[in-house]
Chains A and B, each alone.
Chain A
Amino acid sequence: MGTLHVGVHYITRVEGHGHIVVDVANGTLQRCDLEIVETPRFFEAMLRGRPYTEASHITSRICGICAVGHATTSLQATEAALGIVPSEQTQLLRKLNFFGEILDSHILHVYMLVAPDFFGVGSVFPLASTHPEVVLRALRMKKLAGDLCAAIGGRHTHPITLTIGGFTHLPRADELEKLGARLEAMRADVDATVELFQSLKLPQFERETEYIALRQPDEYAFIGGTITSTDGFEYPISAYRQVTNETLLPHSTAKHTRHNRESYMVGALARFNVNHDKLHPRAQAAAAALGLKPLCTNPYMNSVAQVVEIAHCVEEALNLIDRLLVRGIQPEEPPPVEVRAGEGVGACEVPRGTLYHHYWIGEDGRITGANCIIPTGQNLANIEADMRALVPTLLDRPQDEVRQALEMLVRAYDPCISCSTHMLEVSFVGATQGNS
């Protein structure tokens, strides 16, 4: 009784490489680690010596899923260092591109990575024959999100047109009109997504933690804002290190972070907990229909918060397209850059949470130092704290159920391990199973 060894080697349906290691002996939790085994990536070191103009293109390669998020945050940091303020049109287009990426990433996660668990299958592929309407809907929604990104950035993965101070290419009004019409038609798919998640039974598990997200006075923040915590703290973006306090641990090539407690959470659920009052009414209705209420302390509900954000981003993307069409796309060139030595921080709410880029630029325009803090890295300590609270409640269950509960927990965070450098396999330590 009360002895459990769990090892999930290479957690699947997550971005990147990680293992879960759990060891319980005689009812006492000996070890509960999320090992991050992704190879070290060294982006910060690679940026040193490169011209400032390359930073956003190099750092978008940190991640294939949130490439727009990295590029946007990178441009913010560079622009802060060089004293450049982008035009209103640039800011609107960046935001529209950003909504496209949030949609793409969330749809990928909730439909293709999370949903198979609830249908009892190992991937989305078998659902194509058993639940074609679900798969076709997911593909339809994802394609629209990708097309939205491509209209602005040239392509979704590793955007081309985003540059310091503006864009190298602008979408045409008729392209935006067509995307607007498709987004309006997507509302029915959003409603169907809400219905699907209403019907799925998520595990019941509550553990309160600190939730941190950017906050803006007049909108649900994605680009810039004030770092805001549900424990009552607020910081300007430039003071991000007071929040992140990075440390290294031997079992993870990704750095861990902590603020007011042993850990904190970032991502869709944290954003919902911090900014629920700024959601679009249709997204608030979706939250109500899904039973998502602040302060929500069930980490499995992160996927539900993503569904709510899908509803929000569709509406806000429509509003942005309307604004852009009313003011007309102006043929702007990015402003000229006066190279100078400087330092700047950028922060965005990318799909998985708050992302920080911090650059130091020398007088010759070459980057002399860089620091990137990734959402998944910030969530690692919180995932481990969840596992430590969850495992003792599962000791009477068969090993496969424990493994699935833990994998689903980690997956709910939508970890992006290449980004955080380093993440998922569960290994139950030891070969014997003595838990029943």
Chain B
Amino acid sequence: MNKPKIAFFDFTSCEGCQLTVIDALQTHLDLLNAVEIVQFREAMTEKGEDYQIAFIEGSCSRESDEARLRAIRERAETVVALGVCAHLGGINAIRNRQPLEEVRAYVYGDKAAWYETGPARPISAVIKVDAVLPGCPIDREEFVRAVKHLLQGRLPQLPDYPLCVECKLKENVCLFHRGKVCLGPVVRAGCNAICPTYGDSCEGCRGLISNPNLDAMKDVLHEAGLTVEDILTRFTMFGTYQLDEVRRTEGG
């Protein structure tokens, strides 16, 4: 039987999701035997252009990225966005909140024109994406489950309920009760509530669920003495692009 050929690609990112893939493979060597990795620049020299499944990490942040993304799309049967940068623009999109010229000038001064750049966007802004592995970084076990699904010819499914569900199952003390602010009530579960479990608030790296209960969220915020604006500002750490899109849709 032919093993499915898979390839990994990266755009604007820290490559932490690919490192998480390497970490996941080290405890699932069986997966490594079930596939043929034909391209993975961070880990291997060989560069095969014949693949069925493409995992793409990173945001599209310059025009010249677009042709490369389209070429991957043409070759791959299935494109999977790996991590929040590819999924939603991620941290990179914070810069979209300021005029691009200011951002460029702050870092590169009068030499800014030497380096091509644009606003940071999810890859779905350029090509069709078949499946998403959210998070910053991706969740190891979710990646392993996703590969198993793909090997069976199915697309991985994401939970579409809020993080609070997982947090409750883990019997964590709610961070709001500890005087902290958490995005758990409106953010997609699937990470096993790892940040609240380790005492830190959810920062929303997995993005909003498709139908967040905003009224309940407002009540929680009101009790904590916070406004919707406070929490939206927090959400811009990973979700600037998604928020802008919601606003565009509502305004448009």
Binding site for B on A (CB under 8 A): 10, 12-17, 39-42, 44-46, 48-50, 54, 57-58, 61-65, 67, 108, 112-113, 116, 122-125, 128, 139, 142-143, 146, 154-158, 160-161, 163, 167-169, 248, 250, 253, 418-419, 422
Residue from A65, A116, A128 within 8 A of B32 (CB atoms): A128
Closest chain A CB from B202 CB (angstroms): 10
Are the C-beta atoms of B115 and A143 separated by less than 8 Å? no
Are the C-beta atoms of B107 and A44 separated by less than 8 Å? yes
Those 5 A-B pairs whose CB atoms lie nearest each other, nearest first? A64-B16, A123-B44, A168-B199, A122-B45, A154-B198
Closest chain A CB from B207 CB (angstroms): 16
Which chain B residue has the least Cβ–Cβ distance from A46? B94
B165 contacts across to A, CB distance below 8 A: none
A44 contacts across to B, CB distance below 8 A: 106-107
Residue from B32, B44, B137 within 8 A of A122 (CB atoms): B44
Report the Cα distance A44→B112, complex, angstroms: 14
Residue interface bits B101-124, CB-to-A below 8 A is 1, else 0: 011101111010011010000000
Interface residues of B, count at CB 8 A:
57
Are the C-beta atoms of A63 and B14 separated by less than 8 Å? yes
Report the Cα distance A62→B94, complex, angstroms: 13
Which chain B residue has the least Cβ–Cβ distance from A160? B198
Are the C-beta atoms of B40 and A65 separated by less than 8 Å? no
A-B contacts at CB below 8 angstroms, number? 157
B96-146 contacts to A, CB under 8 A, are: 97-98, 102-104, 106-109, 111, 114-115, 117, 136-137
Are the C-beta atoms of A64 and B45 separated by less than 8 Å? no
A12-B44, A40-B108, A45-B103 are contacts. A64–B18 as well, Cβ < 8 Å?
Answer: yes
Residue interface bits B1-33, CB-to-A below 8 A is 1, else 0: 000000000111111111110110011010010
Report the Cα distance A169→B117, complex, angstroms: 39
Which chain B residue has the least Cβ–Cβ distance from A123? B44
Are the C-beta atoms of A155 and B136 separated by less than 8 Å? no
Which chain B residue has the least Cβ–Cβ distance from A121? B45
Closest chain B CB from A171 CB (angstroms): 10
Are the C-beta atoms of B40 and A418 separated by less than 8 Å? no
Are the C-beta atoms of B106 and A10 separated by less than 8 Å? no
Are the C-beta atoms of A40 and B42 separated by less than 8 Å? no
B81 contacts across to A, CB distance below 8 A: none
B38-87 contacts to A, CB under 8 A, are: 40-47, 61-62, 65
Are the C-beta atoms of A54 and B237 separated by less than 8 Å? yes
Are the C-beta atoms of A58 and B94 separated by less than 8 Å? yes
Report the Cα distance A144→B203, complex, angstroms: 28
Which chain B residue has the least Cβ–Cβ distance from A11? B41
A168-B198, A253-B115 are contacts. A158–B16 as well, Cβ < 8 Å?
Answer: yes
Are the C-beta atoms of A13 and B194 separated by less than 8 Å? no
Are the C-beta atoms of B109 and A248 separated by less than 8 Å? yes
Closest chain B CB from A105 CB (angstroms): 10
Are the C-beta atoms of A160 and B195 separated by less than 8 Å? yes
Interface membership of B92, Cβ < 8 A:
yes
Residue from A156, A250, A418 within 8 A of B15 (CB atoms): A418
Report the Cα distance A113→B17, complex, angstroms: 17
Are the C-beta atoms of B43 and A124 separated by less than 8 Å? yes
Report the Cα distance A57→B91, complex, angstroms: 10
